[in-house]
Amino acid sequence: MVPLEQDTSGQWQTTLPSALFFGFEDDQIDFGRQAISRYTAGEPGRLLRSMKSLLGGSFMGDKTQVKNRQYTFDEIIGFFVQSLKSQADKFTGSESSELVSVVMGRPVYFNDTDKKLDKAAEDHLAQIARLAGFKEVSFQYEPIAAAMDYERQVKREELALIIDIGGGTSDFTLIKLSPERHGQNNREEDFLANHGVHLGGTDFDTQLSVNTVMPAFGMGMPLTDKEGLSMPSAYYFDLATWHKIHLLYDRRVLRELKNLRPLVSNKLRLDRLLEILALRKGHQLASMVEQAKIALSLQPEAHVDLAALFNEYQEIDSCAITQTQLQNSLQRDVSKIFSTLDETLNQAGVTHKQIDTVFTTGGSTALPMIQACIDTAFPDAQHIAGDLYNSVGSGLLMEAQLRYG
Ligand SMILES: Nc1ncnc2c1ncn2[C@@H]1O[C@H](COP(=O)(O)OP(=O)(O)OP(=O)(O)O)[C@@H](O)[C@H]1O
Ligand SMILES: [Mg+2]
């Protein structure tokens, strides 16, 4: 694995978060941690995150406005892949040739229900990689890559369940692993099932935000003119969802919200919402909620300092989020994830008891709630927590060595 980016403490990391920042002052594009830190430092510009969730959607071919230019999502993902490749090329040094082959990881489904859109997402990604200069492009399912990584430490044949819960998707693979067959080309017979669902950490952030911070901006407040009617919740779901926040900055939406002002029961809250939008602080709010979620992996309570979002003093308390609120907010998504896991076992006709090892990877598997659900579902299996961020990458690297030597 090659160093791709230095983190804030100057340490080189082998991962590059899929974020991209267009700076409006210097017209520079930055990537990864650098992109996120320029954005959170308050520099004017546009941040794009969770780009993988754009693939597989019906809006894949859409364009988005950045400053005075329109970019297709393909172009934007292309900038990212190009920068990733050029950093990796730099590392391989002038004496070795440029990188020409790539094995790209992919979720089990880019789209849960529409096979055509799923295929289109893979085709788009392959085309983007070719435009970036790769001659040979192939794919591997991310949980299978994680299985290959884990198999290096397997001592005897076992039935393993690989769980990869990341930002956008939860993926499962049921596979027979063995030291004898490790690194062999044809493993078809060992794959028992591969399944997944489009739910992950960014959905958890949305739910947590809607349940805890959005009421401070007027979510759920009654409209005074009609009995039983309350503020439309769609605005708040958008504000709590990374790739939808920018929709609220549209002038038409702002006008709609202003028109509601005479009707709302709590004008202060609506004004707060309008100010957050005027200040373009939606992404910052979302990232504060995400940080609170991550902090709750280690402590019973976390705070979201809402007042820090505003330039002038606001009569607004910091919002405290408890472990229990986190659990309640995630309950529905987590049940769906675990019922998809059950479907994975059903597909293969395997019972929970037959699983020897559960191997976990992906940032969201750090959640105590997820860990607890795994312990309850598989009390007899050995439970191995893999590297949260590097397991899939290591497996893809092994696959690339096998395919392209
Ligand atoms: N300690 C933690 N507790 C809870 N969630 C965490 C923790 N650390 C990271 N996460 C979450 O993990 C997610 C990122 O995980 P990861 O990097 O594995 O995703 P990804 O591979 O980019 O996405 P995907 O696999 O879905 O395409 C984010 O939603 C992040 O908030
Ligand atoms: Mg992942």
pLDDT (tens digit per residue) in 222-257: 998 777 899 999 999 999 998 888 889 989 999 999
Q: Is the CB of 200 within 6 Å of ligand 1?
A: yes
In order of their start, the domains of the chain are 5-134 (3.30.420.40), 154-200+330-389 (3.30.420.40), 202-322 (no CATH)
Q: Which residue has a Cα nearest atom 12 of ligand 1?
A: 363
pLDDT band at residue 387 under the 50/70/90 scheme: very high
How far is C-alpha 291 from the chain's CA centre?
A: 14
Ligand 1 atom nearest to CA at 168? 26
Q: Round to whole Å and give the CA distance between 169 and 390.
A: 16
Question: What pLDDT, on the 0 to 100 scale, is given for residue 278?
Answer: 94
Q: Round to whole Å and give the CA distance between 405 and 398.
A: 9
Q: Which two tokens stand for residue 71?
A: 């970019």
The helix (run of H) or strand (run of E) holding residue 76 is helix 73-92
* Of 318 and 342, the one with more pLDDT: 342
Q: Is the CB of 145 within 6 Å of ligand 1?
A: no
Least confident segment among 31-45, 131-145, 256-270: 31-45
Q: Which two tokens stand for residue 248?
A: 């609220």
CA of residue 167 to ligand 1 center, whole Å: 4
> pTM value?
0.93
Could you report how far apart the first and last alpha carbons of the chain are, in Å? 15
pLDDT digits (tens, 9 = 90+) for 325-370: 999 999 999 999 999 999 999 999 999 999 999 999 999 999 999 9
Q: Round to whole Å and give the CA distance between 269 and 222.
A: 12
Query: What percentage of the chain carries pLDDT values higher than 90?
Result: 79
Which of 294, 323, 359, 371 has the most ligand 1 atoms within 8 A of CB, as the residue to mutate? 294
- Please name which ligand lies nearest the alpha carbon of 15: 1
Q: Which two tokens stand for residue 115?
A: 């096979």
- Please name which ligand lies nearest the alpha carbon of 50: 1
Question: Residue 159 in contact with residue 99, Cβ under 8 Å?
Answer: no
Ligand 1 atom nearest to CA at 18? 22
Q: Is the CB of 166 within 6 Å of ligand 1?
A: yes
Q: Which residue has a Cα nearest atom 10 of ligand 1?
A: 363
Strands 357-361 and 382-385: parallel
Question: What pLDDT, on the 0 to 100 scale, is given for residue 277?
Answer: 96
